[in-house]
Amino acid sequence: MTQTAIEPFDPSRELGPIIAGLRAQRLRWRAAHERHAEHGGHGFPQRQAISRILAPLSALLFPLRLGPPELNPANEDAFIEATLETTLLQLAAQVRLELRYHQRDAADDAIEARVQAILRGFATALPGLRALLDSDVQAAWQGDPAARSVDEVLICYPSITAVIHYRLAHRLHELGAPLVARIITEIAHSRTGIDIHPGARIGARFFIDHGTGVVIGETAVIGEGVRLYQGVTLGAIGLLIDATGAARGEPRHPIVEDEVVIHAGATILGRVTIGRGAVIGGHVWLTRDVPPGAEVLPAAPELAIVE
């Protein structure tokens, strides 16, 4: 049997058409979306740069637990000052890229004034964010019998990592940097498996137990003292977005009032309201309002034990 000769791949001869094809597709995309070369490349916030900012931002909120090991109460203020100075400058660079990307015809001084306003608003919000996060950590410790201390919760629980990222991102979203904010929460999503859109509004004492697979949509509103378990979705009923962007930003996710508990695998879709103190059972599918204090349980499954 004659063996067919295999022709080796020759980069010098074969890469040219591939490169040309990729270039042609890039140009088609840029023309369709009104992208121009001067606005490409690094004229867009960089995920890698934002990722490097997140560790020091978390550390200045919780310096003795998330900061460097040499810190102590005597030098933590100096660490926070130095970290703020460097980190806020790095954050400003990413916000500047976002604003320039979306406001290509704006004057440089107008862009810079907006950058500084966002930076000032974000920095002055940090003490309040720390207070909110303290309530979240406390809620996790009180809500999980497996937790031995609030320090264990802060250091070990992926849900706290996701909520720290969310609270930072939500403030930036409110201040007018939604793209940088979205990158922050997507970094948390990739690290923890918890997907919280920065536009969602979440009250104090928020706890996600375990957390993997939780999804919280852009327009969701969550009250105080709410507890979710893994696999919960607070989503929207599917919408087709037309060329004008209709339905973007419209309220389409659930409202969850104070002290609600939603168990693992529950899916709640649309602009429905889950009343205060309600309990939603695991693997429930909901597209309607639930009154305060109600329990929503799945139908009892039929079980069979085969020996």
Report pLDDT digits (tens) over 141-177. Answer: 999 999 999 999 999 999 999 999 999 999 999 999 9
Angle at 79 between CA 47 and CA 136, to 5 degrees: 65
The residue among 225, 161, 148 whose CA lies nearest residue 187 is 161
Q: Please report, to the nearest 10 degrees, the dihedral formed by the alpha carbons of residues 172, 173, 178, 179 taken in order.
A: 40
Can you read off the two tokens belonging to residue 7?
């022709």
The residue among 103, 94, 88 whose CA lies nearest residue 50 is 94
111 in helix, strand or coil?
A: helix
Farthest-apart Cα atoms in the chain, separation: 82
Beta strand 215-216 with 233-235 is: parallel
Cα(83)–Cα(54) distance, integer angstroms: 11
**Confidence band for 137, pLDDT divided at 50, 70 and 90:** very high
- Per-residue pLDDT, averaged over 66-87, amounts to 93
- Per-residue pLDDT, averaged over 63-81, amounts to 92
- Per-residue pLDDT, averaged over 50-66, amounts to 94
Q: Which of 48-52, 100-104, 147-151 has the lowest mean pLDDT?
A: 100-104
Per-residue pLDDT of 166-218, as tens digits, reads: 999 999 999 999 999 999 999 999 999 999 999 999 999 999 999 999 999 99
179 in helix, strand or coil?
A: helix
Is this model's pTM higher than 0.85 or not?
yes
Is the per-residue pLDDT at 244 higher than 60? no
So what's the pLDDT on residue 281?
95
- Per-residue pLDDT, averaged over 110-118, amounts to 96
- Per-residue pLDDT, averaged over 251-262, amounts to 97
**What is the tally of helices (H) and strands (E) in the chain?**
8, 14
**Confidence band for 40, pLDDT divided at 50, 70 and 90:** very low
What's the whole-number average pLDDT of the chain? Answer: 91
Cα(90)–Cα(84) distance, integer angstroms: 10
Hey, what domains does the chain have and what are their CATH numbers? Answer: 45-194 (1.10.3130.10), 200-238+250-298 (2.160.10.10)
pLDDT top residue among 173 and 104: 173
